[in-house]
Amino acid sequence: MKRMMILLAVAMAFPVLGNEEQHPLLPADTSSPRATLNSFMINCERAYTLLREEGRDFEDKKIRAKSQDLVRDITRCMDLGAIADFRRENAAKEAAVSLKEVLDRVELPRESKIPDLKAMTAEDGSLLEKWTIPNTEITFRLMKEGPFEGSYLFSADTVDRAGEFYRRVKHLPYKKGATEDFANTYLTSPGNEWLAGLVRRLPASMHVRKSGQAVWQWIGLGVVLFVALLIMATIYFIGRRVSRGGAEGGLLKYVLGLAFPIMAVFVPVKAQSLIATELVISGATLHFVKFNLSLITLFAAMVVVLGIGRRVGEVIASAPHISSHAIDAQLVRVMTRLMGFGAAMILLLQGGQHLGIPLSSLLAGAGVIGMALALSAQDALKNVFGSIMLIMDKPFTAGERIKVKGYDGVVEEVGLRSTKIRLLNGHQATIPNEEMARTDIENIGRRPFIRRVSEIRLPVDIGAEKAAAAVARVQDVLKDHEGFNPDFPPRVWVSDFEDDHLELKFIYWYHPPEYWAFTKHADWVNREILTRFEAAGIAIALPAFTTKIDDDSGAPLPNPS
């Protein structure tokens, strides 16, 4: 009865706490150490009553909402700025029940001795920075910036050491009207009624706490982690099989294969939820497990982002107007992959901050890793940049015939690392893109015509008349020839006097540059020239050879005369 009268008096002193139904968005009063302490104690009392009566499994939406409001107002009384985002909620709840256990055991000053806002205001109008409960290290500190500026909250050091304070006073008896066994009830009560019923039927030995957790909690933790790893391994195996062969094995199948890494992202998330809310693992064990599961989630999400980049590139490259092996398709693939990599890096930085890793450390780590990768993969990076230069400059495309580094063949594929060329003899040559980007390339596939330059050897004693006749007959053969273009008339002339022959040279251009049609026409030209030369009695000179014989002894040979 006395306890109820005290609570009633406190509620009347702070009517804001009693008007939650009328003002559900009104935050807990933290305007002074007294207001914060009273807000914290009253809301913990209500949360304790709700936990004892309803357990953790709130099926009723109103009760669930009430529970969430109580948790919000309790955590509103603590400075949680130093706690990483991923563990803030659980750390706040554990600190709250530990502080309540401490406050239910140590002697507190009378309410009038706990400073209100007036008592915390100095003569110059400024607010005092902190107040500590006498004979304790529990401190209320004024927030000077941030969303809680002007509030007196349990200091970050107090929140961080709440578990330590609880262990130090755990042997002390409860004061009258305390929420007895609040911490143990909260930290060991299963998260749903079915599990709670199962735990109640376990022998007492399973309820013994070992290293901060009950034995049944350790067993449950092991089961959840094992199942989560098994599911992720299965998803990974299936995803690898579905996506095997990449886009070459079927674009739709390749795109749908992304569903498996997406599913893998949610496995550690669900495992965290089960561990924190159903098994109610707490303390350093929870922080360690959540940190590592969050890391797995982060890396799985990065894999998804990188996979999205690759698949978007393949979808765009598969458009009807883009050849799958053309250099434009490679440009699309490179750009989407680079964008995916950039998004993955942003995700890594944001996720690292969520896990409490300072941005400066992340950037420094990324820089060190980047330097290590750059040094260990210099050739690979050179080839990647070489491929980007080839893609931007486009000296050739897939399907074009080129001559490069002594190779002559048709470009089959321009990859991120190398270019593949199918040689005219059927062999395949693979040349690193770093070399392709800095070497001379003769692109035969882009020629507008095929030029033929040929020579005919005429005898030295052919005479001027027959030499002119030879020129005229070649001109007649090439006049308006197949593949003729008026802008490129054929040329025929006696070019030079050699020791053993006259050289007749002719040039003509064949349009369009269709090689096999050109060779067929060249064959006709050759046979037609032979036919006309024979009819006119024009001979073609054979190559002359001079043989010199030396005596092995070095003595001059006798003169045959």
* HEC sequence for 347-399: HHHHHHHHCCCCHHHHHHHHHHHHHHHHHHCHHHHHHHHHHHHHHHHCCCCCC
CB distance 70 to 47 below 8 Å: yes
C-alpha span between 280 and 293 (Å, rounded): 16
CB-based contact 264:232 (threshold 8 Å): yes
User: Measured between alpha carbons, how far is 141 from 27 in angstroms, rounded to an integer?
Assistant: 18
- Name the most confidently modeled range: 10-19, 353-362, 399-408: 399-408
Q: Provide the domain limits for residue 322.
A: 213-376
454 & 439 share domain: no
Top-confidence range, 61-65, 157-161, 290-294: 157-161
Same-domain check for residues 366 and 395: no
Q: Report phi then psi at 263, rounded to 5.
A: -60, -35
C-alpha–C-alpha distance, residues 254 and 311, integer Å:
8
Q: Which pLDDT score is estimated for 75?
A: 92
Cβ pair 490, 481 in contact under 8 A: yes
Return the structure tokens found at 273.
Answer: 């939820």
Mean predicted confidence (pLDDT) in 455-484: 92
> By three-state DSSP, how is residue 75 classified?
helix
Give the per-residue pLDDT at 25: 65
pLDDT > 90 in the chain, percent = 37
Q: Of the candidates 376, 411, 431, which is a domain's last residue?
A: 376
Same domain, 521 and 482: yes
Question: Any residues with CB less than 8 A from the CB of 469 and at least 6 apart, and which?
Answer: 536, 538
pLDDT of res. 5: 44
Q: What percent of the chain has pLDDT over 70?
A: 83
- The more confidently predicted of residues 323 and 34 is 34
Q: What pLDDT shows up at residue 368?
A: 65
Closest Cα to residue 272, out of 251, 296, 252?
296
107 shares its domain with 256: no
- Residue 523: pLDDT over 50: yes
pLDDT value at residue 374: 58
Q: What is the pLDDT of residue 477?
A: 94
DSSP for 98-129?
HHHHHHTTS----GGGS--TTTTB-TTSPBPS
Whether residue 554 is contained in a domain is answered as no
Per-residue pLDDT at 27: 77
Residues 52, 24, single domain; the answer is yes
Structural domain ending residue among the three candidates 348, 376, 404: 376
Confidence of residue 286 (pLDDT cuts 50, 70, 90): confident
* DSSP-assigned letters across all residues of 437-505: HHS--EEGGG-SSEEEEEEEEEETTS-HHHHHHHHHHHHHHHTT-TT--TTS--EEEEEEE-SSEEEEE
Does the residue 553 lie in any domain? no
One-letter identity of residue 364: A
If one counts every other C-beta atom within 10 angstroms of the C-beta of residue 369, the result is 10
For residue 2, pLDDT over 60 is answered with no
**pLDDT for residue 200:** 79
- Region 476-495 average pLDDT: 93
In a shared domain, residues 86 and 10 = yes
Is residue 402 within 8 Å of 411, Cβ to Cβ? Answer: yes
Q: What is the CATH number of the domain that holds 440?
A: 2.30.30.60
Same structural domain for residues 361 and 414?
Answer: no
Kindly indicate the confidence band of residue 98, based on its pLDDT and cuts at 50, 70 and 90: very high
Higher pLDDT, 211 or 131: 131
The most confident of 361-370, 372-381, 443-452, by mean pLDDT? 443-452
- State how far the Cα of 59 lies from the Cα of 191, in Å rounded to an integer: 12
**Residue 9 burial by CB count (10 A; 0-12/13-18/19+): exposed, middle or buried?**
exposed
Q: Model pTM greater than 0.95?
A: no
Cα atoms found within 13 Å of the Cα of residue 75, Cβ hemisphere only: 16
- Please, which residues have CB within 8 angstroms of residue 285's CB and are 6 or more apart in sequence? 211, 212, 213, 221
356 shares a domain with 243: yes
- How far does Cα 378 stand from its chain's mean position? 21
- Angle CA 74–185–218, to nearest 5: 110
Task: Tell me, yes or no, whether 197 lies in a domain.
Answer: no
Give the orientation angle of helix 359-376 with respect to helix 378-393, to 10 degrees: 90
Question: How far is the first Cα of the chain from the last one, in angstroms, to the nearest whole number?
Answer: 153
- Are 288 and 328 part of one and the same domain? yes
Q: Is residue 204 part of a domain?
A: no
What is the residue-averaged pLDDT of the chain?
83
Tell me, what amino acid is at 478? L
pLDDT of 6: 43
Same domain, 278 and 325: yes
Q: Is residue 52 part of a domain?
A: yes
Same domain? 12 vs 102: yes
The pLDDT of residue 319:
73
The answer as to whether 208 is a domain residue is no
Residue 166 is predicted with a pLDDT of 92
361 has pLDDT over 80: no
pLDDT exceeds 90 at position 90: no
> What is the pLDDT averaged over residues 344-360?
77
What's the pLDDT at 225? 93
151-162: per-residue pLDDT in tens?
999 999 999 999
Supply angle C-alpha 29, 34, 38, rounded to 5: 65
Q: Is the pLDDT of residue 229 over 60?
A: yes
d(CA 40, CA 73): 8
Total domains in the fold of the chain:
4
Q: Are residues 522 and 473 part of one domain?
A: yes
Residue 326's pLDDT is: 58
- 344, 376, 408: which is the final residue of a domain? 376
CA-based R_g, the chain, Å:
44
Is 306 part of a structural domain of the chain?
Answer: yes
Please give the average per-residue pLDDT across 310-333, as a whole number.
71
Q: Is residue 552 part of a domain?
A: no
Q: Where does the pLDDT of residue 106 fall: very low under 50, low under 70, confident under 90, or very high at 90 and above?
A: very high
What's the CATH number where 498 sits? Answer: 3.30.70.100
